[in-house]
Amino acid sequence: MKSMPVTPPSNNRIAQLIDANLDRAREGLRVMEDWCRFGLKRSDLSIQIKDWRQQLGVHHHNIYRKARLTSNDPAMGISHPFQKTRATPEAVFIANSSRVQEALRVIEEFTRITDPKLCEIATKIRYETYEIEIKVLNTSEGINKRQALKDCSLYLITTNRRNLEEIVLKALKGGVKIVQYREKFLNDVEKISQAKCLASLCKKYNSLFIVNDRIDIALAVDADGVHLGQEDVPTKIARELLGDMRIIGRSTHCLEEIKNAEEEGCDYIGIGPIFPSETKKKLNPIGINYLSKGLSKTSLPAFAIGGINSSNIEKLNQIDNLRIAVSNAIINSNDPCSKTKELLKFLT
């Protein structure tokens, strides 16, 4: 295919301008590429950005390079105070993405007539950078949520109570960092209303909010993820609906289910019931030895669940890096805040 002709700009200052913005765009793309590669471990995104950088490199013609302005550039070395406020990798990524978009817009405007192919490429890449920003932000958010999940040792599961919001608030003040909304009696309108309230409380206390079973409600209230039982939606379908930024947990009761959850890409698991449980009366307790065996078979964050309370938690003191999920122990306590602190003290 014959390439479009490149006409040297009539004004050398335009060639300098195009050269400077090609450099600016390619440098910004390199920053974006490296964060996707090393920071996010997203080879698909880094490959895409590298391709854009190469396309611009191919069209960085000598007529632009020869016009380069360096020592006589009046703006060389000038910085801006806002550059010192980029405290996170995401902020650095967005700043460089904006830099690329601005540079490409300048290239578009000054190459429409003289270098139509470069103009076409700059336009295409500029629009695609808007889309990749969203992907990177979602990926970063997912990474942050999963790190928060790893740091959690106490997981609160709600049950139907008239003053549930007050109970959860006290648990959050006590230090709970992940709350699962589990509700079997209210209608959907009532569930969504209550879930929104709890999600807002969790956000205020920088805690994760998970919805049991219901992917639709999780999406409706912008929850951090869902928890699924063995008979609920397959993980693959849940991931397609929820995307990469949200967490998926799965209840497991045997080694095979633990293995399946890990292979399917779940973010965490519950293992149990460890002791007889009021909420899982049909399931026989698997016991502490089986819990230890299950924990040794997975690298996922795993929460022991089922009948755990202040009177029997001492039986789990031989488990290293113990994580537990409780419901009644906090929900039905006289002082949810103090009970939360008591459980967390045992886990530290």
The pair of structure tokens assigned to 214 is 């219901």
Tell me which DSSP letter residue 222 carries: T
The answer to whether 223 touches 200, Cβ cutoff 8 Å, is: no
Distance CA 56, CA 115 (A): 12
One-letter amino acid identity for 179?
V
Closest C-alpha among 165, 170, 166, 201 to residue 183: 165
- The Cα 323–Cα 301 span in angstroms is 8
CB 309 within 8 A of CB 326: yes
Tell me how far apart the alpha carbons of residues 25 and 122 are, in angstroms, rounded to a whole number.
9
Query: Residue 227: phi, psi to the nearest 5?
Result: -120, 130
DSSP 210: E
Residues 6+ apart with CB under 8 A from 254: 286
C-alpha to C-alpha distance for 305 and 51, rounded to whole angstroms: 48
- At residue 79, what is the residue type? S
- Report whether 210 contacts 223 (CB < 8 A): yes
Residues belonging to the active site: 182, 251, 280
